Amino acid sequence: MNLSDFKLLYVCLCVVLGIIILTPTLAIFIQFPGGETFSELWLFGPDVESKAGNYPFNVSVNQVYNVSLGIRNHMGKVEYYKILVKLKNQTDLWPNDKDRVPSSLNPITEYRLLLRNGDSWEQEVLFSFDDVFFGDNASVISKITVSGDSFNIEKSATWDPQGQGYYYQLFFELWRYNDTVSTFQYDNRFVSIALNVTENT
């Protein structure tokens, strides 16, 4: 090895050693990319011991049922969230995950909250169907109560002879406030429960 090769090797080693020594200091001033950012949304059943199960399914008119709705912020900053509560029948369309398009259904009600990064929010959601008509192989829900507030709706479902029921889906869409455009935008997340609304359970 001649002198010029030795000098080049010495310079390279000094640069590498300098980078290793300075990396902790640089991390204070340089924001390196973090992990994946996302919002977590969940829906648990009423049973505390087995939260992921025991969801209400066969529901009677004028009976109160409950689920637990929750969200956790993993976005790396404070987020302003809106959760829309919607009810669909067998023919209504779900939100489109592929195109990030929410359901076109009108919301029954909504929840709004601010969450710091890493924080979570969970709330019991009580619901009941208070005014339901059954006849001509169809059911029509005219009133729903969600967490103590009543809402007039007109949602019908036809009798499903194979499943032997009138099937609906109560679902919760997650929206996040976008500071750039100053409006809420669908966050491409929703959770739901299937319900068979019956005259008697």
pLDDT tens for 2-14 read 666 656 666 666 5
Q: Phi/psi zone of residue 66: left (φ > 0), alpha (ψ -120 to 50 degrees), beta?
A: beta
Tokens 């090769």, residue? 5
> CA torsion angle for 27, 33, 36, 39 (degrees, to 10)?
80
pLDDT in tens, 48-66: 565 567 899 999 999 999 9
How far apart are alpha carbons 132 and 128 in whole angstroms? 11
Closest Cα to residue 193, out of 68, 14, 13? Answer: 68
Q: Which stretch, 20-24, 81-85, 197-201, has highest mean pLDDT?
A: 81-85
Report pLDDT for 9.
Answer: 61
Report pLDDT for 31.
Answer: 42
pLDDT in tens, 147-187: 999 999 999 999 999 888 999 999 999 999 999 999 999 99
How far apart are alpha carbons 179 and 183 in whole angstroms? 7
Backbone φ and ψ for 38, nearest 5 degrees, come out as: -165, 165
Q: Read off the amino acid at residue 57.
A: F
Report pLDDT for 98.
Answer: 87
pLDDT in tens, 59-110: 999 999 999 999 999 999 999 999 999 999 999 999 998 888 999 999 999 9
Asked if residue 83 lies in contact with residue 111, where contact means CB atoms within 8 angstroms, the answer is yes
